Amino acid sequence: MLRSEALDRLASAEYAHLATITPQGEPHIVAVTFVVVGDTLATMVDHKLKTTQRLQRVVNVERNPKASLLVDHYSDDWSTLWWVRVDGPATVHYDDEYWQKAGDALVAKYAQYTEDRPEGPAIRLAIERVSSWESTP
Amino acid sequence: MLRSEALDRLASAEYAHLATITPQGEPHIVAVTFVVVGDTLATMVDHKLKTTQRLQRVVNVERNPKASLLVDHYSDDWSTLWWVRVDGPATVHYDDEYWQKAGDALVAKYAQYTEDRPEGPAIRLAIERVSSWESTP
């Protein structure tokens, strides 16, 4: 898959999976809404998670910036499978210019955020390495 | 969500995401077919990936047993979201009793494997910790 094609599929994916590493050195994986912002991927803590905004993913990235985000297509028809993965350093943003921009972009992408704009910390993942795979029937 | 309910949803999930850690200390994430085998989860390298059976996930687990597997439900209707996560140590098996059992269970679960039984290494993830979350509309 060409890099441009991979980036297109990434941008139009509805949601993704984010992997980070806990302070105890364990892999941590969550499903996230996200959006492409320039040469970064942004995901934010939103109202879907009310108990705390100090989520594990935020704690992890603050301690260890290594992160990976995967979008993929699954189907019973295994000749149609594909995935795109982005690896790069991540940082946490709150109440700054990037946080504002990420919030705007998420509201623009997801109708569900129109009434409930995400207000928690943003995680910014630099699009450093792009990998992809596609089933070849 | 009760643990029994979480384990039911895990067992009936079509596919999952597996996170491990590379020898370079980076998080690694892949979509996998999998099956519950007793108190473990099994996933195997299959024919969908022809270039090598020495996949990153196998290399990772051989060096670092820490692994996490997530199944989740995504929908535009965010009042129906849920996920179940299993964390535990993982081991690689090849040509032993567990590998045989995992192959049998995968063929039983996935019709697609009937003609193409997975023949690569199996990753066995012990179901040690089960976490879950469900949207509460």
Map out the domains of chain A as residue ranges. 3-134
Question: What is the distance between the alpha carbons of residues A36 and A11, in angstroms, rounded to a whole number?
Answer: 6
Segment B89-104 mean pLDDT: 98
B130 falls in which pLDDT band (50, 70, 90)?
A: very high
Closest by CA position to B36, among listed B2, B17, B10, B64? B10
Asked whether the beta carbons of residue A29 and residue B15 sit closer than 8 angstroms, the reply is: no
Counting as low any pLDDT under 70, the low residues of chain A are 49-53, 137
The enclosing H or E element of B35 equals: strand B35-37
- Which residue in chain A has the smallest CA separation from B88? A26
pTM of the model: 0.95
B46 falls in which pLDDT band (50, 70, 90)?
A: confident
- Which residue in chain B has the smallest CA separation from A81? B48
pLDDT at B49: 63
pLDDT at A86: 98
> Among all chains, which residue has been given the structure tokens 């509460």?
B136
* Residue B123, beta-bridge partner list: B43, B92
pLDDT at B57 over 90: yes
- Assigned token pair, A1: 């898959």
B27 to chain A, any CB pair closer than 8 A? The answer is: yes
Q: What is the ipTM of this complex?
A: 0.94
- Cα distances (angstroms) measured from residue B45 to each of B41, B67, B114: 14, 16, 15
- Rounded to the nearest 5 degrees, what angle is found at the Cα of B43, between the Cα atoms of B42 and B48? 160
Asked whether the beta carbons of residue A27 and residue B19 sit closer than 8 angstroms, the reply is: yes
CATH, domain range B3-134: 2.30.110.10
